[in-house]
Amino acid sequence: MKLFVGLGNPGPKYAGNRHNIGFMAVDRIAADHDFTPWRKAFQGLVSEGRLGTEKVALLKPETFMNLSGQSVQAAVAFWKLPLSDVIVFHDELDLAPGKLRLKQGGGHAGHNGLRSISAHLGDGYGRVRLGIGRPGHKDAVAAYVLHDFAKTDQDWLENLLCGISEGAEALAMGDGQKFMNAVSLRTSPPRSSTTRERTDPPAPPAQPAEDTRSPMQRLLDRFR
Which of these, 63, 5, 58, 53, lies nearest to 31 by C-alpha position?
58
The number of angstroms, rounded, from the C-alpha of 132 to the middle of its chain's C-alpha atoms is 11
CA distance 160 to 22: 12
Element (H, E) at 158: helix 154-172
The string of DSSP codes covering 52-85 is TTEEEEEEEE-S-GGGHHHHHHHHHHHHT--GGG
Asked if 90 is an active-site residue, the reply is no
Which of these, 171, 189, 172, lies nearest to 180 by C-alpha position?
171
Active site positions, annotated: 19
